[in-house]
Amino acid sequence: MTEATPQDQGKIKRGLRVWLAYFMLSFLGYSLNVAGPAVAYLREELNFSYTESGLHTSALALGLVVTGLLGHHLLRRIPEWKALGLGGLGLGLGGLILISGNQPALTLSGLFIMGTIGALILAVTPAILADEMGKYSTVGVTEANTVAAIFSTIAPIAVGFFGARAVTWRPAVYLVTSLAFLIGLYILFSPQFSWKTESVETQKSTRKGKLPWKYWLFWTALVSAVSIEFCMIFWSAEYLQVHLAMPKDQATQLVSLFLVGMVIGRFAGSKLLQKFDRYLILLASLALGVLGFAIFWFNPSSWLALTGLFLTGLGVANLYATTVTLVFDAAGAMRASAGSGTTLASGVAILLLPFALGSLADLIGINLAILLVFLLFVVMIVLILYGRKVMSTSEEITETYLEVAK
């Protein structure tokens, strides 16, 4: 992406369709982050064991994995906007089952439905924004994730607010998932969102095609990006307790510094991506993330460690949004499969890597185990540098072929 002129920046349009995509992704982000606090209340109400509570926190991620593995069959047969609408219905239905459930089978089912059907939102949003915003799709994905980060930060606050001041915590789930359900209905039944699918020839070609190896290169980088984010969210509080001897409540609250850094970083990223090449933004973000993590890990000083935590969030902020556009570019015509693949990447990362870090901490302690995050940074830097070289070579070959054809 070349530097945009002020005239080019003025051409970015964010009409109703773009804002619907932004908010649907935000409702999903909110749902992913509301599950943990909600389950804490359910554990007291329904006397869940720690094992049952742990299953609940994994149910959403497992739903993402299922849709990532199987969702491409559906996404090849229905338009992306209709898949977005179905995702809203899934969040609404799953949220209703969650807040109504009085036994683990029901509450687990509610979360699993939210993850499985709601994952369609994650699968199609980048493709929808690519259609709606064209060459500014990277800006759109970053902005959508900025709004989603704000909603994600609000989720635990909302549960605590309603839990302390209202009769129950349940409105914190019901209000947002019901809104997602209503917007989903609007998308499904509004005539401006057509049910018309691709031509038969296009469908046949995409069914028979295979995702290129360069897609899997960036897919692995995407797994690393999501893993870094959720490993920090899940385990940085524990590290602060052990490494800096902070009280549990204080350490838990201070994780918000990482989330605040992500919100600020995504807002800044949406502006910078209008002017600079996305690879440059991505590599600069990785460098900032590594610097922040090094300060967070090395320093015995509380204020320096917390500064590092904030800088890590600032660096991590744009990893997902930028990498996911590279994944779609590498997929080429296989966009439907790419969409479900990005969902699988998120599900695998959320389900496995924080668990792996925790298991490693049992063996060698949290101080050393959290260095897994540093390793993920290194893996991602290598993959992005190599992927950039591969994509540049592919573009040069394509341009040479077109010149010869002329």
By mean pLDDT, which of 32-41, 194-203, 370-379 is the weakest?
A: 194-203
CATH topology of 13-197 equal to that of 209-406?
A: yes
Residue 182 has pLDDT above 80, yes or no: yes
Q: Give the separation between CA 129 and CA 121, rounded to whole angstroms.
A: 12
8 A C-beta contact, residue 297 and residue 370: yes
- Per-residue pLDDT, 155: 83
Structure tokens at 277: 């090449």
Which tens digits make up the pLDDT trace of 100-158? Answer: 988 888 999 999 999 999 999 988 998 898 888 887 887 888 888 888 888 887 887 78
Confidence at residue 249, expressed as pLDDT on a 0 to 100 scale: 65
Q: Which of 104-113, 199-208, 226-235 comes out lowest in average pLDDT? A: 199-208
| Mean pLDDT confidence for 293-308 | 91
Most confident stretch, 145-149, 370-374, 392-396:
370-374
Q: Say if residue 404's pLDDT is above 60.
A: no
For 230-267, b/e burial (b = at least 16 CB within 10 A) is bbbbbbbbbbbbebbebeeeebbebbebbbbbbbbbbb
- Residue 394 and residue 288: Cα distance in Å, rounded? 29
Tell me the average pLDDT across 214-243.
90
Q: Distance between CA atoms of 139 and 129, rounded to whole angstroms?
A: 9
Contact 94, 177 (CB under 8 A): yes
120 Cβ contact partners less than 8 Å away, ≥ 6 residues apart = 67, 71, 74, 75, 83, 84, 86, 87, 90, 343
Mean pLDDT highest for which of 115-119, 197-201, 351-355, 358-362?
A: 115-119
pLDDT for residue 382 is more than 50: yes
Confidence (pLDDT) at 69:
86
Asked if 259 and 149 touch (Cβ cutoff 8 Å), the reply is: yes
Q: Answer positive or negative: Cα dihedral of 23, 24, 30, 34.
A: positive
Tens-digit pLDDT profile for residues 250-284: 777 788 888 889 889 988 887 888 788 889 999 99
Quote the pLDDT of residue 42.
84
The predicted structure's pLDDT at residue 276: 86
Contact 111, 287 (CB under 8 A): no
Q: Which residue has the tokens 């807002």?
A: 267
* pLDDT recorded at residue 3: 39
Cα 210 to its chain centre, rounded Å, is 24
For the four alpha carbons of 324, 329, 332 and 333, in that order, the dihedral sign comes to positive
pLDDT value at position 4? 44
Q: Which CATH number fits domain 13-197: 3.80.30.20, 1.20.1250.20, 2.160.10.10, 1.10.10.60?
A: 1.20.1250.20
Q: What pLDDT is attached to residue 394?
A: 58
In whole angstroms, what is the distance from residue 343 CA to residue 340 CA?
Answer: 5
Q: CATH for 209-406? A: 1.20.1250.20
Delimit the domains of the chain by residue range: 13-197, 209-406
Render pLDDT for 302-357 as a digit per residue (tens, 0 to 9). Answer: 889 999 999 999 999 999 889 988 998 888 777 767 778 888 888 888 888 888 88
Alpha carbon 310 to its chain centroid, in Å, reads 19
Q: Is the pLDDT of residue 397 over 50?
A: no
**Residue 40: per-residue pLDDT:** 73
What totals of helices (H) and strands (E) does the chain contain, helices first?
17, 0
